[in-house]
């Protein structure tokens, strides 16, 4: 009985002793780790350089992949997919995608700076310089954490054009993968298309009654092609010589008086030699 009890006490004491030793060792390691970390933070050139990069490179937070689904109205529309038109529609109709593409552009530019600056970063310290292995380990860990954090993400775009038959029996899709750079190009195309549209709207809007009158007055209130006037029972129009659709401007030198017959015969035709 006595031996059994003292045996238990000895085992208990041994466990207690081992625990204390482990706690002391862990504490010592933690203390050493903290001291070394402080040393890295205050002395490592690599870490200091990376810390500075954090101020320079602040990338947009983007996902690695964006999936876009576009639903077609018919199988025929899917079969005769006009990728150019569809891409313009997708981007023009979705401010969120536009915003994402603007952010892509920012990250693409920042990635160039990031790659370049990382190449010029000071080397990691080494053991020959008298640093402990723990120091080197912590220097790598801290520096890499920053480079992971600031590395700009350049996303991929997966675009699915889909059609599902009315009863949902058949579904089809075509998919394309676009790089961020390609999406930026698409957005630029959209802006050109949009600008052209706005120019046309603007050119039509500045065709005022006063300007119309001035042009007719200049042309003697007669059709410049057939010479008829209102007294011949025809209606006079003011016409763009170079059509707006082809970049013609609403200015007197590009305007002329035509009768309805001559104007309708002309439509959007434009002869460079002026034989209209």
Q: How far is the CB of 274 from Zn ion (least distance, A)?
A: 16
Residue 225 binds Zn ion, judged by CB under 5 A: yes
- Beta strands at 65-71 and 171-179: parallel, antiparallel or unpaired: unpaired
Residue placing its CB nearer to Zn ion in the complex, 186 or 262: 262
Residue 226 binds Zn ion, judged by CB under 5 A: yes
Residue 216 binds Zn ion, judged by CB under 5 A: no
Q: How far is the CB of 249 from Zn ion (least distance, A)?
A: 23
Cβ distance 258 to 236 under 8 Å?
yes
Residue 230 binds Zn ion, judged by CB under 5 A: no
Residue placing its CB nearer to Zn ion in the complex, 215 or 223: 223
Cβ distance 47 to 143 under 8 Å?
yes
Which residue, 120, 115, 118, 111, is CA-closest to 60?
111
Instruction: Name the segment binding Zn ion (CB under 5 A); options: 82-90, 96-104, 134-142, 219-227.
Output: 219-227
Residue 224 binds Zn ion, judged by CB under 5 A: no
Q: How far is the CB of 269 from Zn ion (least distance, A)?
A: 15
Residues facing residue 255 across a β-bridge: 240
Separation CA 77–CA 38 (nearest Å): 64
Separation CA 195–CA 203 (nearest Å): 12
Binding-site member from 183, 223, 236, 238 for Zn ion (CB under 5 A): 223
Cβ partners under 8 Å of residue 189, min gap 6: 87, 88
Beta strands in 156-266 (DSSP E): 156-164, 171-179, 236-240, 255-259
Q: Residues 237-256 vs Zn ion: string with x where CB under 5 A? A: --------------------
Residue placing its CB nearer to Zn ion in the complex, 111 or 228: 228
Residue placing its CB nearer to Zn ion in the complex, 68 or 236: 236
Cβ distance 257 to 217 under 8 Å?
no
Cβ distance 125 to 49 under 8 Å?
no
Instruction: Name the segment binding Zn ion (CB under 5 A); options: 140-148, 160-168, 173-181, 220-228.
Output: 220-228
Residue 259 binds Zn ion, judged by CB under 5 A: yes
Q: How far is the CB of 208 from Zn ion (least distance, A)?
A: 23
Q: How far is the CB of 233 from Zn ion (least distance, A)?
A: 12
Cβ distance 153 to 64 under 8 Å?
yes
Residue placing its CB nearer to Zn ion in the complex, 113 or 224: 224
Residue ranges in contact with Zn ion by CB under 5 A: 223, 225-226, 259, 262
């Amino acid at each position: 009985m006595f031996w059994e009890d003292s045996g238990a006490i000895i085992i208990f004491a041994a466990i207690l002793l081992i625990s204390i030793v482990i706690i002391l060792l862990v504490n010592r390691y933690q203390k050493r780790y903290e001291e070394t970390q402080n040393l890295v933070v205050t002395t490592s050139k690599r870490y200091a350089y990376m810390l500075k990069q954090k101020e320079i490179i602040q990338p947009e937070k983007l996902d690695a992949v964006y999936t876009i689904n576009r639903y077609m109205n018919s199988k025929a529309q899917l079969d005769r997919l006009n990728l150019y038109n569809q891409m313009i529609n997708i981007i023009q109709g979705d401010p969120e995608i536009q915003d994402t593409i603007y952010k892509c552009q920012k990250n693409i530019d920042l990635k160039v700076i990031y790659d370049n600056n990382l190449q010029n970063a000071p080397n990691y310290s080494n053991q020959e310089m008298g640093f402990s292995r723990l120091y080197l380990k912590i220097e790598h860990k801290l520096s890499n954490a920053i480079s992971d954090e600031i590395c700009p993400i350049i996303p991929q775009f997966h675009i699915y054009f889909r059609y599902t038959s009315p009863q949902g029996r058949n579904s089809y899709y075509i998919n394309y993968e676009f790089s961020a750079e390609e999406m930026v190009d698409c957005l630029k195309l959209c802006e050109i298309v949009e600008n052209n549209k706005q120019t046309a709207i603007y050119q039509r809007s500045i065709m005022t009654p006063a300007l119309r009158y001035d042009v007719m007055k200049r042309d003697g209130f007669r059709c410049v092609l057939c010479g008829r006037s209102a007294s011949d029972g025809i209606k006079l129009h003011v016409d763009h010589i170079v059509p707006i659709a082809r970049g013609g401007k609403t200015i007197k030198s590009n305007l002329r008086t035509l009768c309805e017959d001559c104007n309708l015969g002309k439509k959007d035709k434009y002869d460079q030699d002026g034989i209209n």
